[in-house]
Chains A and B, each alone.
Chain A
């Protein structure tokens, strides 16, 4: 008991530590903005800001898609595949069947939600790790889509689609406001609803949550369903942006989808999410991508940079969880913790 004194004094700034993570992230973003603006004045042109806001919208939503599953302590490697399935479904419904845009979009979102539900259902029923299940389903969904669509692009969509994609509110795309609206809804979910709390509880300690009466299986399935719907939303945003439904969409989502939440402080181990952090994380990714583009530095460098940043973010996450664990270890283990600190 005597040894716990230092741990108590360290325990206090946890709230500040969380905020300082976001402030630090914002500072890094600002740094890149200053850097890119000084190196390439075109970076802050209204044209580029518009393009940036459109791709930010997509990055934010795919970040959310991964975040809601990270909340349960799992992952979803199938978000790209689910996204492209929704994309191709919307193309088929609009171009081939000629359904009205809102109906086609709603059905595509439903398809995404269904594919996510399927992931969740299989994970809960089989008890197999979500990594393996979604790795398999990623390939399954993608393969199924390619067979059905014969990898044909739907590029004769109603003209309203591309028009909406080009629409500007000020110098920003309305898509960005859609993304931020989804973010607001997720904040409500995780902060103010029983369901959101249950998802986080299941992620932090599934067994304890279960014995406290939380329907853990249901929470996991819902999180995956939501993840599927969000992946579909991201895909549909790309349909608006490109004015076409292309089978290549979604293939490069995996890295940024992890980058955004992890940079933003969402714990890989589950039980804690940061919606604002995910938005900032996505903002950093988009900033770097756009900056390198404006400076005409090739895509190869982008990959290298993003890889480096994810690695750094994961290191940070690891440090954070070790730190959190040390703080949370009870007084019982004070002796052991001391040895850890000295090692």
Chain B
């Protein structure tokens, strides 16, 4: 089935979300749709799947104009989407979820044997290992995606939209998913693949379309004609700035944090490392390798059960987070800004000053907003947080500015060691660079950073040394040469070395290190 997007435009009050967007999706191809946040990807997907109607232009299926007034119309035409928000019912079985739109019945009662038999048929096409009688809530996120794809297939989808399918699954699972995508493509389906991750797009797509500010910046370019730089410049409208972080002085005379054979309540074993003053120590690993948990154990939001942790040479035990912050000047920026990092409904002022309320209060425990402002203003200025006022609710800021507020609050607290967990997740490329520069700057000023990231280029751009974590243990330490190719290969080798555990899904795709950059 050929889907033609012809001169599509869509307006919202005050803004043009999409303007004259045209390209074609062909059967038997994987078509990547890229663009920064706000470039119009979501709006376009909503138009293709019948959630929105375009204000201008039209959609054609096999050359015939179609007019979708609801998602049902799109599904009937053979277009299904697997969204980021899962649309499965957790307490229903896999089979029930797949067949939910049109369950087979006998005498007016659902015939469950046939539900499972039918569901099995579709599931076997992509992943025979999932049992149709398992309740969906027991599945992993990756398996849920497979079930959603099976459901789309059961609806005879010819065009399958995958919206950020790898956002919350591990590298192994992504490989398995890509294998499924390739198989479906080879069977003649059209796959539209929406992703932020360049490496992934380069590895899996046949063609790529890039949106920028609601307009087409690249329409269906064959991936062989593109490279990382070209895609990025299409997305941001200029060349990607080359990271210049390698100039930091690597004075390793002062060790600020030293872990020796740590074991934690989360199950870490034999974790040893040294963090030096002014250093960025990377902590790389797959999702589930235990990186975030290690951070939590270090800051007292979990327990170190054996081994020794030394800060500035002195052995310490950290019973809780306030102690970590106040006594040991150790802070943590969570990967989940919205749920754990910031108080979205509260103003920038409180979000930054929260770490120092106790310190700036008078002897009677009183604080005025003026005292807080005096503390917060210089930091907000220094970090160039873009906001009309520090009374602005943090939830109203962009992701990049939110992250700057997170950093500001730890600078306010005067931490000496900062653990930063996935600093640029959900942040667009332009702002990413600004955050990277900021992290570089604070370490030049003497802060030591333990950087957790799943973003390989970010890790190689920022870290001085990289600890590779696997299964709650340190698999090795690599000195960063700042050269992407050999570094990424070395890291992946450490991650996969000795990992004999079989993935639940077939692994025919290339490992991520094959990503061309």
A residues with CB within 8 A of B: 1-9, 11, 14, 188, 192-195, 197-198, 200-201, 204-205, 207-215, 271-272, 324, 327-332, 334-336, 338-339, 342
Give B300-355 interface residues, CB cut-off 8 Å to A.
301, 320-322, 324-326, 332, 334, 338-346, 350, 354-355
List residues of B whose CB falls within 8 A of some A CB: 12-17, 36-38, 40-43, 46, 51-52, 213-214, 299, 301, 320-322, 324-326, 332, 334, 338-346, 350, 354-355, 357-358, 361, 365-368, 392-399, 402, 409, 413, 426, 428
Rank and list the top 5 A-B pairs by shortest CB-CB distance, nearest first: A328-B395, A335-B42, A1-B38, A213-B325, A194-B357
Contact B15 A2 (CB under 8 A): yes
**A194-B357, A198-B357, A327-B393 given; A6·B12 CB < 8 A:** yes
For B392, list chain A residues within 8 Å (CB).
11
What residues on A are CB-neighbors of B358 within 8 Å? 194
Please indicate the chain B residues that have their CB under 8 angstroms from the CB of A195 in the complex: 365
Tell me whether A330 and B395 are in contact (CB under 8 A): yes
B46 x A204 contact (CB < 8 A): no
Contact check, B345 vs A271: say whether CB atoms are below 8 A apart.
yes
A194 & B341 in contact (Cβ 8 Å cutoff): no
Contact of B326 among A3, A9, A11, A213 (CB under 8 A): A213
Contact of B14 among A6, A211, A335 (CB under 8 A): A6
Cβ-defined contact, A214 with B393, below 8 A: no
Across-interface contacts of B325 in A (CB, < 8 A): 212-213
| A328/B396 in contact, CB under 8 A | yes
Which one, A5, A198, A201, A330, contacts B398 given CB within 8 A? A330
Contact B398 A1, beta carbon cutoff 8 Å: yes
B357, A330: Cβ atoms under 8 Å? Answer: no
Q: Which of B13, B299, B394 contacts A6 (CB 8 A)?
A: B13
Instruction: Using known A-B contacts A212-B409, A214-B354, determine if residue A339 contacts B46 with beta carbons closer than 8 Å.
Output: yes
* Chain A residues whose CB sits within 8 angstroms of the CB of B344 once the complex forms: 205, 328
Contacts of B341 in A (CB 8 A): 208, 211
The answer to whether B345 and A214 touch across the interface, beta carbons within 8 angstroms, is no
A204 contacts across to B, CB distance below 8 A: 343, 345-346
A214 to B350, CA, bound (A): 12
Question: Chain B's nearest CB lies how many Å from the CB of A307?
Answer: 29
Task: Please name all residues of chain A whose beta carbon is closer than 8 Å to the beta carbon of B324 when the two chains form the complex.
Answer: 213
Nearest-CB residue, chain B, relative to A198: B357
Cα distance, A198 to B43, chains bound together (Å): 40
Q: In chain B, what residue has the closest Cβ to A9?
A: B14
Q: Is B339 within 8 A of A208, CB to CB?
A: yes
Contact, CB under 8 Å: A338 / B12: yes
Select from chain A the residue with minimum beta-carbon distance to B299: A211
Is the beta-carbon distance between A330 and B396 smaller than 8 angstroms? yes
A328-B395, A330-B398 are known; give 11 further A-B pairs, CB within 8 A.
A1-B38, A7-B396, A192-B368, A194-B365, A197-B357, A198-B357, A204-B343, A204-B345, A213-B355, A271-B345, A332-B398
**Given A2-B213, A6-B14, A214-B322, does the pair A324, B346 have CB atoms closer than 8 Å?**
no
16 A–B contacts from the bound complex (CB under 8 Å): A2-B40, A192-B368, A200-B346, A209-B343, A210-B301, A211-B340, A212-B321, A212-B354, A213-B321, A213-B325, A271-B345, A331-B398, A332-B37, A335-B42, A339-B46, A342-B52
Which of A6, A14, A197, A332 contacts B426, CB < 8 Å? A332
In the complex, the answer to whether B395 meets A3 with C-beta atoms within 8 Å is no
Residue of A nearest to B296 (CB): A211
A215 touches B322 (CB 8 A): yes
Interface SS, A side: helix
Contacts of A193 in B (CB 8 A): 361, 365-367
Q: How far is the CB of B68 from chain A (nearest CB, A)?
A: 15
Partner of B345, one of A198, A210, A324: A324
Cross-chain contact B17 with A1 (CB below 8 angstroms):
no
Q: Would A197 and B350 be within 8 Å (CB), given that A271-B343, A339-B46 are in contact?
A: yes
Q: A1-B38, A192-B368, A211-B321 are in contact. Are A201 and B397 (CB under 8 A)?
A: no
Residues from chain B with Cβ under 8 Å of A194 in the complex? 357-358, 361, 365, 367
Question: What is the CA–CA distance of A52 and B289 in the complex, to the nearest angstrom?
Answer: 65
Bound: A331/B214 CA distance, A = 15
* Contact assessment for B367 and A192 in the assembled complex, using a CB-CB cutoff below 8 Å: yes
In contact, A213 and B343 (Cβ under 8 angstroms): no
Q: Check A335–B357 contact: CB distance below 8 A.
A: no
Complex CA–CA separation, A231 to B365 (angstroms): 25
Closest to B324 in A: A213
| Residue among A197, A211, A336 with most chain B CB within 10 A | A211
B355 and A331 contacting across the interface, CB-CB below 8 Å: no
Q: How far is the CB of B323 from chain A (nearest CB, A)?
A: 9
Closest residue of chain A to B413, judged by CB?
Answer: A213
| B residues near A5, Cβ cutoff 8 Å | 14-15
* Complex partner residue of A211 from B15, B332, B361, CB under 8 angstroms: B332
* Contact B340 A339, beta carbon cutoff 8 Å: no
The listed residue (A9, A213, A336) touching B42 by CB distance below 8 A is A336
Task: Select one of A188, A329, A335 contacting B46, CB under 8 A.
Answer: A335
Q: For residue B347, which residue of chain A has the nearest CB?
A: A14
Known: A194-B358, A201-B350, A331-B38. A211 touches B396 (CB 8 A): no
Interchain CB contact under 8 A, A327 and B368: no
Q: Once the chains are docked, how many angstroms separate the CA of A1 from the CA of B367?
A: 36
Q: Which residues of A contact B339 (CB under 8 A)?
A: 205, 207-208
Please tell me if the beta carbons of B340 and A208 are within 8 angstroms of each other in the complex.
yes
CB distance B343 to A201 under 8 Å? yes
Q: Once the chains bind, are B38 and A327 in contact (CB under 8 Å)? A: no
- Residues in B neighbouring A11, C-beta threshold 8 A: 392-393, 396
Taken together as a complex, chains A and B put the C-alpha atoms of A200 and B355 apart, in Å, by 14
Q: Are B399 and A332 in contact (CB under 8 A)?
A: yes
Contacts of A197 in B (CB 8 A): 350, 354, 357, 367
* B343 engages A208 (CB within 8 Å): yes
Residues of chain B with a CB closer than 8 A to A207's CB: 339-340
Residue from B16, B320, B340, B395 within 8 A of A2 (CB atoms): B16
CB distance from B227 to the nearest CB of A (A): 25
Contact B301 A211 (CB under 8 A): yes
Question: Given the complex of chains A and B, what is the CA–CA distance between A272 and B340 in angstroms?
Answer: 18
CA distance A339 to B395 in the complex (A): 19
CB of A200, distance to nearest CB on chain B (Å): 8
Smallest Cβ distance from B330 to chain A, in angstroms?
Answer: 10
